[in-house]
A and B are shown apart, each in its own frame.
Chain A
Amino acid sequence: MTITLLFMAFLMGVVVWWLVKQTINIKPWVMDDGVLVGDVDAGVLSEPKAKTGLWVFLAVVTSMFCLFISAYAMRMKLGDWTPLPEPDLLWVNTGLLVLSSIALQWARNAAKQDRIDSLKVGLNVAGVLTIGFIVGQLFAWRQLVDDGYFLNSNPANAFFYLFTALHGLHILGGLVAWIRAVSRLWRGSDAAQVRLSVELCAVYWHFLLIVWLILFGLMLST
C-alpha cells in the first residue's frame, strides 16, 4: 500500500496547503477583515469548470491505478508468481500512444492559434493512432493466448490482462470525447469553439500515456 499512501499523502498535502493558504489568519466572524465587503470574488478558481472537473477525475483515476499497483506489488511477493514475457508488439503500441499524444498536443496548439486545418489534421491523426493502439493491444492479447499465457494460469498474466483492459477502457472513454470534438468540427465549429475540448483531450491523453508507461515499466521490470 506504500504507493497508494504516497499518492494520498501528496494529495492531502495539496489540499492542506491550499486550505491553509485560504484560511490561515482569516477570522470570518470579524466584520472588517477586508474580505467582508461586497467586492470579493471569494477566491473562486478562474479555470474553466470542465478543466477542474477533469483534474479531479484524474485524481480519482490515479487513486484507482495506485491501488492496482499496490495490489500488484503485494501479490507479486507470493510464491506462485511467474513473470510473463511481454510481447514485443507492446513497444510498437507504446510508440503509437506516444505519437497520438504528440499529435493531440499539436492539435491543441493549433486550436490555440486558430489554425483550423492543422487542428483537424492533428485531431484526426491522434484518433487514428489511438485506435491503432487499441487494436495493437488486442493483438498482443491474441499473441499471448496463442502462446499459452492464459489469464488463469498465473497471477502475473491476470494482472497483465487486467491492466491492459482497464487502461484500454479509459482510452475508449477518451475516444468518446474525441468523437464529440471531431463531429463538432465536421459540423462547422471553428477552432475557438473546440479549443477547450481539444485541450482537455490532450491532457487526458498525456495522463493515460503516463499511466501506460508506468504500468508497462512495472510489468517489464518484474
Chain B
Amino acid sequence: MVATALAEQASFIAAGASLDIDHVSHAFDIDGKALPVLDDVSITVAPGEFVALLGPSGCGKSTLLRLVAGLEPPRSGSLREDGVAITGPFPSRVVVFQDPTLFPWRKVWDNVALGLEAQGILKTQRHRVDAALELVGLSSFRNAYPHQLSGGMAQRVALARALVNDPKILVLDEPLGKLDSLTRITMQAELVSLWQRTGVTALLVTHDVEEALFLANRVIVFSDRPAKITADIAVDRPYPRHRGDAHLAELRRQILGLLGLDATW
C-alpha cells in the first residue's frame, strides 16, 4: 500500500546524503562530574545506506543521534553531512523519536505540516503534506487530534511529519520500540520499502537484533557506556529479507554474543 503510494510520489524525497561521524566523544556533567557517554566513535555512512546501531540500554545511542541531528554539539570530534560540518538542527536531517511526540493541540494534518510551516514554505507546499499523509495511509485521519490515534497510527504520523521535509538523512531512534509486535512487523516492511524507493540515508537505533538485521545494510554494535564501537557487521542479503534466513540467524547469534547474551537461545 505504501509502496504504491510512494511509486506515485517518485520524486518525493531526494537521494540520501553521506554522513561522517569523525572521532566523536561526548560527556554529560552530572553533579559537577563528567559522565562519559561516547568514546571516540567514528562511522562513515555512504549516501543511501541503511545503518542500524545496537547496544546496551543507556550506552549513548540516543546521544549520538542527538549529535547527528545537531541538537547538541559534541565535546570533541566532528560530524559532517555531505562533507559540510553539522552545527545545528536542519530539516535535511530529521529525527523520529521513540515517542511520537505529536503536538496534542494540532490536528494530524497540522502536525505533519509542522516542518513546512516552521520553514515558512507551507503556503505553496500544502500538497506535500497531503502526499506524506497518503504515504503513511492516514489521509482519512487528517482532521483527528493525536489523542484519538492508536500508538501505531501516531508513530506513522510522526514518520509522515519527518518525510514531508524531503530529508537526506532519516534518523530513527527506536521508532517502533513501543508498538505491538504485529504493528511492528508491518511497519518494518514499510520502512524497508520507503527507504528503497526514496534512496534516503537511514540511521536506526533499535534494541531488537532481528529488526536491525531485517532492515539494515550494516549493523554497528556498541559497548556499554561510554559507547565504543565493538563491531561493524555488513548484512549482505537482498531485500525483501526473510526472517527465517539462515545467514541472518547466524549473524544474529554472532551479535547476541557481542552483546554478552550468547548463553540465551
A and B are partners in one complex rather than unrelated chains: no
Which A residues are closer than 8 A to B by beta carbons?
A: none
Which B residues are closer than 8 A to A by beta carbons?
A: none
